[in-house]
Amino acid sequence: MTPNDDLVLAVQAARIAAGILQEVPRDDIVSSEGHDIKHSADKKAEQGILEVLLKNSPYPVLTEESGEHGALNDGTMWIVDPLDGTLNFSRGLPMTCVSIALWKEGQPYLGVVYDFILEEMFTGIVGQGAWVNNVEIKVSAVNQKKKAVLMTGVPSLSDFSQERLTRFARQIQAFKKVRLLGTAALSLAYVACGRADAYKEDGIMIWDVAAGAALIKAAGGVVKFEPKKRKWSCLMIAGANEDILEGI
Ligand code: IPD
């Protein structure tokens, strides 16, 4: 399969998931523990995506809800979050999306983030470019933190300790504005198209950021990714350029 075939497949899977999500009752929360919730929509949409990817692609798939499908040995794999911004979805907040990535050799390569509320399909392939609804996008030219918008979030598994919150406050001081949308995937897509300039989240799960990171790289930005001790969690720092990311 060519990279473009992979992109067509990921877009097809994202549209199928979105169709399923539009039919699920918004209040069908199946569990709620700590700072996390589980919604019936995540599993239903994931099933739709898996059917498309496993049937039509040779690569293994890692998903938020059901884990690993196939052997993930050489770092080439699909990484899927069927519904990022689950809490937003359940409350009718319009920031929510489907996120599908293809990583190669452990690095972001192809990304699809579908905002099915605004009907914005973000797509990108590293080395080829990035698009929203087929119109080319690029990261912003902002290269000073005091002029920059930082997108961030508080991971569900965060301990909310005084120390962590103080570190967070220190981090955002240098930026002009900070935004917490409640969806890491869409936040990264917004950095990829220049609506914001940087993104950082420590302890985020890889399926939340895999596609958005690929979009930023494909749109000319910088991505720094460091796996953490908890399996599939990571530190993700990404932005328009190195100057914006320095020291964060
Ligand atoms: C959440 C969002 C949020 C991030 C949380 C994630 P979910 O994903 O990506 O931006 O801060 O850590 O859990 O649970 O809504 O799919």
Q: What is the pLDDT along the chain (248 residues), one digit of tens a residue?
A: 788 999 999 999 999 999 999 999 999 999 999 888 899 999 999 999 999 999 999 999 999 999 999 999 888 999 999 999 999 999 999 999 999 999 999 999 999 999 999 999 999 999 999 999 999 999 999 999 999 999 999 888 888 889 988 988 888 999 999 999 999 999 999 999 999 999 999 999 999 999 999 999 999 999 999 999 999 999 999 999 999 999 88
CB of 233 within 6 A of ligand 1: the answer is: no
CA distance 138 to 217: 10
Let me know: does 110 contact 126? Beta carbons within 8 Å. yes
Task: Measure Cα distances from 63 to 24, 164, 177 in Å.
Answer: 20, 28, 32
Ligand 1, residue 64: give the atom nearest the CA.
16
Instruction: Output the pLDDT for position 118.
Output: 98
Q: What is the DSSP letter of 171?
A: H
- Residue closest via CA to ligand 1's atom 2 equals 183
Annotate 172-196 with DSSP letters as a single string. HTTSSEEE--S-HHHHHHHHHTTSS
- Residue closest via CA to ligand 1's atom 5 equals 155
Torsion sign, CA atoms 17, 18, 24, 29 = positive
CB of 85 within 6 A of ligand 1: the answer is: yes
CB of 93 within 6 A of ligand 1: the answer is: no
Tell me the H-state helices in 79-193. Answer: 86-91, 162-172, 184-192
Classify 144 as helix, strand or coil.
coil
Between the CA of 2 and the centroid of ligand 1 the distance, in Å, is: 31
Between the CA of 51 and the centroid of ligand 1 the distance, in Å, is: 24
CB of 158 within 6 A of ligand 1: the answer is: no
Pocket test for ligand 1, best of 157, 181, 183 (most atoms within 8 A of CB): 183
Instruction: Output the pLDDT for position 103.
Output: 98
Let me know: does 98 contact 116? Beta carbons within 8 Å. yes
Instruction: Output the pLDDT for position 20.
Output: 98
Let me know: does 216 contact 238? Beta carbons within 8 Å. yes
Tell me the H-state helices in 92-183. Answer: 162-172
Let me know: does 115 contact 123? Beta carbons within 8 Å. no
Q: What is the DSSP letter of 145?
A: G
Classify 23 as helix, strand or coil.
helix
Reported pTM? 0.97
CA distance 124 to 108: 10
